[in-house]
Structure 1
Amino acid sequence: MTAPIVLTCGEPAGVGPELAAKAWEARGSALPFAWIGDPSHLPQGTPVAEISAPHEALSVAGRALPVLVHDFGGPAAPGTPDPAHAAHVISAIARAVDLAQSGAAGAVCTGPIHKKALKDGAGFVHPGHTEYLAALAGVDRVVMMLACPELRVVPATIHIALSQVPQALTADGLTATLRITHAGLRRDFGLQNPRLAVAGLNPHAGEGGAMGREEITLIRPVIEALRAEGMAISGPHSADTLFHDAARARYDAAICMYHDQALIPIKTLDFSGGVNVTLGLPFVRTSPDHGTAFDIAGTGRADPASLIAALDLAQQMAAARAATARAAL
């Protein structure tokens, strides 16, 4: 048993607090976790046990949601973010990272944040959660993976316009993405020799240069160089034939060239159960693959499936990372 997971509150005006309560109700006794947030933001009637350290969650999770109190100084109005809460949202994330880095927490699972609210209320300078976590950990480069039981995907470029993708793709960047993904699958998923499949950028993976030459000039040389080092890597594959059942059986993760090429297949396969994973950090981090959902916050309609999947995967990854560390001794 690894140390309990810590779950950050995220934006308290969003669905994060009610999802934390639902996740505890569904999995709390079997999967103890500690929620970092203000108890007053939880749905009325949520059983709460205030704790001072994550390990205390193990003894109380069967009867109440374990809470590491993070006082926001006021209530939250569902659907309406308060600029005064922004600094507290940020500091709750930093607190979770400190707990994970010290070993007090086995993993960090993050509730959804609203980047504009953080920027407006506290001058948040990072593009998003992932970049802030990397800065806190002192890591230059991390990789975003989306995972569900049927598929793991990694976009080599993320939140940029499609027209910018060819310029953003570089040999160094793609090589780093593949190396971090390979190392993460070994350390955090227990795969001794991960199989990576790399998608092409263009239709039909360029069709020999007839539909673009990035596969010839950039993607294939990177693949061949890493394959020469012993990495089990294939491609570039035509993306339109990479995600059916038989194709998925031949790899452990697919590396895609842009955001939608990666996210459309996984959200089609498992819209509610997809998990956002950050590879390359010195601690395990997962997150539900959805946003704050201000439109339904406070209504009780939010689906906890993605958060529960994120907590489950965080526990599995933490256990795999611990086993990998023991095997290296």
Structure 2
Amino acid sequence: MQKLRIAVTMGDPAGIGPEITAKLFLLPEIYKNASVTVIGDLTTMIDTQRRVSNKLSIRPVTSFNEKMTKGVINLFDMKLIKYGEVPLGVETKKGGKAQYHYVKKAIESALKGEVDAIVTAPINKHALHMAGIMYPGHTEILAKETGVKNFGMMLMCPQLKVMLVTTHTSLKSVSGLLTVKKVLEKIELAHTAMKDDFGIKAPRIAVLGLNPHSGEAGAFGDEEIKIITPAIKAAQKKGINAQGPYPPDTIFGKLIHKQSHDIAVCMYHDQGLIPLKLIGFESGVNVTLGLPIVRTSPDHGTAYDIAGTNIASVESMLTAFKTAVVIAQNRMKNR
């Protein structure tokens, strides 16, 4: 099979992104199926490489087709940061601007067909905003730059996959944001991803209720009756095996321990993320669905409190990398 070309953005230069990016190159798994290029800044990566391991070195490159050598980090240097400009563990305007441009370069390269997938190290939302870049996070940047309107955030670990209908919003606003159309769109995105990206021929989709006991026939809320059930029925009419709405307090045991379904469509952020992070905190992966490109990311933040200490776990980053490989390979098969 042809080797994939994967771009890894180093994330917020003040966080643990550069560290977990460098640590990837100490792992034999990344050399098997892909040619990997880091998009970031040489000044930051040299500092990081020295802290992480004396078995690593850096080779500046100008394309994504360079041959890989074990222990050598191929780096596409964006030249955005001078030495000492972005201190570790501190939100800065300079760091916010740089992390945005790493992602933008990766997206542009994927859209041009120069890379087959992108893996993004964590960014800091407040640093983005300090730089005047007013996105809530990676997902919205990706959607804007690829021109996609219908997109979604899927989080996964080896035992569980969850799709979120609403994401970064207050709990009190969730009910007002739910519509039949929106729930149906997320069910469809989940169905397509399971088939095309993960090779599941007949995906089983669990759709969760919003309220305790899924509303108890309207006793605790009517969103299940008015919104969620009609969306499930509409999906079923399209040939999608969507079932529910399931009470959120009971379905996760069946999903995790009995593999009752392939993915859960959750109504709000913490409904899906609490169980997922409980069982897979260090192996969680964020996958953006609905894009014309492949994008994965570790499911954790910039961890300013441990930046520069060399104790950050690379597990989630490695799982994100492996997931990007799987998705890219499956999409190539389906072309």
| 2:192 counterpart of 1:190 | no
Aligned length: 322
Question: Counterpart in 2 of 1:16?
Answer: 17
Residues 286 and 296 in structure 2, CA contact (< 8 A), matched pair in contact too: yes
User: Which of 191, 208, 220 is matched with 1:199 structurally?
Assistant: 208
Residues 19 and 304 in structure 1, CA contact (< 8 A), matched pair in contact too: yes
Deviation at 1:175, TM superposition (A): 1.2
Q: How does 1:29-68 map to 2 (within 5 A)?
A: 29-30=31-32, 31-42=34-45, 43=48, 44=50, 45=54, 46-56=56-66, 59-68=67-76
* Residue identity matched to 1:266: L
Q: Distance in 2 between matches of 1:287 and 1:265?
A: 19
Question: Counterpart in 1 of 2:229?
Answer: 220
| 2:183 counterpart of 1:147 | no
Q: Distance in 1 between matches of 2:209 and 2:270?
A: 13
Q: Distance in 2 between matches of 1:192 and 1:137?
A: 27
Q: Distance in 2 between matches of 1:250 and 1:61?
A: 43
| 2:163 counterpart of 1:162 | no
TM-score, normalized by length of structure 2? 0.92
Q: How does 1:196-275 map to 2 (within 5 A)?
A: 196-245=205-254, 248-275=258-285
Q: 1:94 to 1:241 in 2, by over 3 A?
A: same
Question: Counterpart in 2 of 1:131?
Answer: 140
Deviation at 1:300, TM superposition (A): 0.3
User: Which of 102, 113, 124 is matched with 1:92 structurally?
Assistant: 102
Coordinate RMSD, CA, aligned: 1.5
Q: 1:2 to 1:179 in 2, by over 3 A?
A: farther
Residues 28 and 62 in structure 1, CA contact (< 8 A), matched pair in contact too: no
User: Which of 312, 326, 329 is matched with 1:319 structurally?
Assistant: 329
* Residue identity matched to 2:23: K
| 2:123 counterpart of 1:113 | yes
| 2:88 counterpart of 1:103 | no
Q: Distance in 1 between matches of 2:255 and 2:276?
A: 15
Q: Distance in 2 between matches of 1:245 and 1:61?
A: 44
Q: Which moved more, 1:306-315 or 1:158-167?
A: 158-167
Q: Which moved more, 1:156-165 or 1:26-35?
A: 26-35
TM-score, normalized by length of structure 1? 0.94
| 2:317 counterpart of 1:307 | yes
| 2:8 counterpart of 1:3 | no
* Residue identity matched to 1:101: L
Q: Distance in 1 between matches of 2:169 and 2:198?
A: 29
Contiguous gaps of at least 5 residues in structure 2: none
Question: Counterpart in 2 of 1:174?
Answer: 183
Q: Distance in 2 between matches of 1:143 and 1:181?
A: 9
Q: What SS does structure 1 have at the residue aligned with 2:168?
A: coil
Deviation at 1:204, TM superposition (A): 1.1
Residues 254 and 260 in structure 2, CA contact (< 8 A), matched pair in contact too: no
CA offsets 1:246-266 (integer angstroms, 9 cap, x no match): 665121110011111100111
* Residue identity matched to 1:49: R
Q: 4+ residue runs of structure 1 moved beyond 4 angstroms?
A: 245-248
Residues 255 and 261 in structure 2, CA contact (< 8 A), matched pair in contact too: no
Q: Distance in 2 between matches of 1:246 and 1:287?
A: 23
Q: What SS does structure 2 have at the residue aligned with 1:277?
A: strand
| Percent identical residues | 38
CA offsets 1:59-95 (integer angstroms, 9 cap, x no match): 2242411111111231232112332233322221111
CA offsets 1:256-304 (integer angstroms, 9 cap, x no match): 1111110011111111000000000000000000111111000101111
Question: Counterpart in 1 of 2:296?
Answer: 286
Q: 1:90 to 1:242 in 2, by over 3 A?
A: same
Q: Distance in 2 between matches of 1:316 and 1:19?
A: 20
Residues 91 and 126 in structure 2, CA contact (< 8 A), matched pair in contact too: no
Contiguous gaps of at least 5 residues in structure 1: none
Deviation at 1:245, TM superposition (A): 4.5
Deviation at 1:149, TM superposition (A): 1.3
Residues 37 and 74 in structure 2, CA contact (< 8 A), matched pair in contact too: yes
* Residue identity matched to 1:267: K
